[in-house]
Structure 1
Amino acid sequence: MLTLWKSVQLFLSIGLVATIAACGGENATNSSGENPANQGTPVSATPKSSESEAPSAGEKANAEFQDKLSGQELLSALQKGGHVIYFRHAQTEKDYADQADPKMNLNDCETQRKLSDVGIKQAKDIGAAFTAKKIPVGEVITSQYCRSWETADLAFGRHTKDPKLNFLPFEDYTDEQVKEMKANVMPLLTAAPQNGQNTVIVGHDDIFEAATGIYPDPQGMAYVLTPDGKGGFTLQANMLPEEWSKL
């Protein structure tokens, strides 16, 4: 289950407290994990809401997610391996849809969003916690964006880039584009890790939302998935950057 502190942080991160008061407490949606775009709602690469806007279905799913594993039980499961840990990259200096910028170049970090000092510390602290808690890491797969592979390098000292984790070059997506992103990432989310290891993926918000219906927020948020060997997975827990050291 979510700790009280995690719940407070998640609600503050998307302005839900003010939104619920303003909107009369909308019913939660997307509890089945279906992609909201399939219901005719485009996924947006821009920040999802402000205090004056209703939260998206993906934001609600993130805020209301209930851990199946937590604490020592989660740590023991991770130490045994067999899981996929999907990180949204650590915090950046700005949050905007740089993938839609025609001047953005995947081979030039100066044209992309950069990790902030906070983000750099988040990544290092995550890596230190994995070492201290003896959580085994096999493959480390990232998008081609600098903020993703730099997060991986700071945390785990290595990475392999996979363009299937990249955004499509748009700020807002059609249903078909969301399906394309889901088709790209699902093989990575459902692949069984190496024996006794966990696979780490460092990617982006909209990619994960396309596959799960959950918009991972804030930056640095991770979700722990367990592949079922049949092309699916179970979402076990979500973790804020600072929670790894407290497992």
Structure 2
Amino acid sequence: MSKKSKIIELFLTVGIVVGLGACNNEVATDEVSPANAEEISAEGGEGGEGEEYSEGEQANADFKDKLAGEELLSALQQGGHVIYFRHAQTERDYADQVKADVNNCSTQRVLSEIGWQQAKTIGEAFQGKEIPVGKVISSEYCRAWQTADLAFDQYEKNSDLNFLPFEDYTDEQVAQMKENVTPLLIEQPESGENTVIVGHDDIFESATGIYPDPQGMAYVLKPDGSGNFELIANMLPDEWSKL
């Protein structure tokens, strides 16, 4: 999704966006208006986003599905896939990993009302389409495990899906994130099941070169059993119910 599209999306949600802090069940609000939508969209993503397409953003825009519609649904119903979700939409999109405490939701971005609905919509589609889910693995950030919990009613936290505590990564730090996440992407699910991973943008990009955008986007991967995987399709939250 382009920066312009992100701004349009913000215009459509002008007013008070309600976020629920899962740790203390308190309601938080964040006001977004056309006057500050451009400013918010330019603040940077979880690893920092620029005004122009990065290589990862371009790869995301250029990606072509290998399976879609009924063919994709049939493949998913047979299992054997890893489905990597970038967490659902948050109140604002900015890099919080430098100062965030993964054990304290109040130090992190939290899901917006839209994000909560996205997660529920995804879960309802998986149930309705009878897509089998085995393990559900989440980063330790609240927005990730909240997405997993709302969609699939289960999750196990794994710190290998966490950001390194920097906003601008060196090549060595990107390589470290790739080393952390790749074993999860290449592990074959149990027979007849799909593994769901809920993580973050830069983590996925480190292993694939693709920056998953917008929030809530998923990529379907097929591990080959030999330490590699094939990227099969990407999906937006509302596309699962249309398979």
On whether the aligned pair clears a TM of 0.5, the verdict is yes
Q: How far does the alpha carbon of each residue in 1:16-38 deviate from its partner, in whole angstroms, 9 at most, with x for none?
A: xxxxxxxxxxxxxxxxxxxxxxx
> Structure 2 counterpart of 1:96, which letter?
Y
Deviation of residue 14 (structure 1)? 6.3
User: Does the aligned pair in 1 maintain the 2:136–2:148 contact within 8 Å?
Assistant: yes
Distance 2:181 2:202 in 1: 11
Distance 2:170 2:3 in 1: 28
Distance 1:122 1:202 in 2: 13
Asked if 1:125 corresponds to 2:121, the answer is yes
User: Does the aligned pair in 1 maintain the 2:48–2:167 contact within 8 Å?
Assistant: no
Mapping for residues 186-205 of structure 1, pairs under 5 Å: 186-205=182-201
User: Does the aligned pair in 2 maintain the 1:13–1:217 contact within 8 Å?
Assistant: no
Deviation of residue 10 (structure 1)? 5.9
> Structure 1 counterpart of 2:165, which letter?
P
1:69 maps to 67
Task: Give the TM-score taking structure 2 as reference length.
Answer: 0.82
Asked if 1:79 corresponds to 2:80, the answer is no
Residue 233 of structure 2: SS of its match in structure 1? strand
User: Does the aligned pair in 2 maintain the 1:11–1:63 contact within 8 Å?
Assistant: no
> Structure 1 counterpart of 2:66, which letter?
K
1:239 maps to 235
2:86 maps to 88
> Structure 2 counterpart of 1:168, which letter?
L
Residue 97 of structure 2: SS of its match in structure 1? helix
Distance 1:79 1:159 in 2: 20
2:49 maps to 48
Distance 1:46 1:108 in 2: 20
1:39 maps to none
Query: Structure 1: which 5+ runs fail to align?
Result: 1-8, 16-43
2:97 maps to 99
Q: How far does the alpha carbon of each residue in 1:143-165 deviate from its partner, in whole angstroms, 9 at most, with x for none?
A: 00000000000000010000000
Deviation of residue 13 (structure 1)? 3.7
Distance 2:3 2:212 in 1: 12
Distance 2:160 2:191 in 1: 24
Deviation of residue 48 (structure 1)? 2.0
Deviation of residue 105 (structure 1)? 1.3
Larger fraction in strand: 2
User: Does the aligned pair in 2 maintain the 1:14–1:59 contact within 8 Å?
Assistant: no
Residue 230 of structure 2: SS of its match in structure 1? strand
Asked if 1:214 corresponds to 2:210, the answer is yes
> Structure 1 counterpart of 2:49, which letter?
K
User: Does the aligned pair in 1 maintain the 2:47–2:167 contact within 8 Å?
Assistant: yes
Residue 172 of structure 1: SS of its match in structure 2? coil
Query: Structure 2: which 5+ runs fail to align?
Result: 8-44
Distance 2:160 2:219 in 1: 18
2:26 maps to none
Asked if 1:138 corresponds to 2:134, the answer is yes
Task: Give the TM-score taking structure 1 as reference length.
Answer: 0.81
Distance 1:71 1:11 in 2: 27
Q: How far does the alpha carbon of each residue in 1:51-104 deviate from its partner, in whole angstroms, 9 at most, with x for none?
A: xxx210000000010000000000000000000000000000011111112xx2
> Structure 2 counterpart of 1:131, which letter?
Q
Task: Give aligned pairs, total.
Answer: 206
> Structure 2 counterpart of 1:238, which letter?
N
Percent identity, aligned pairs only?
67
2:153 maps to 157
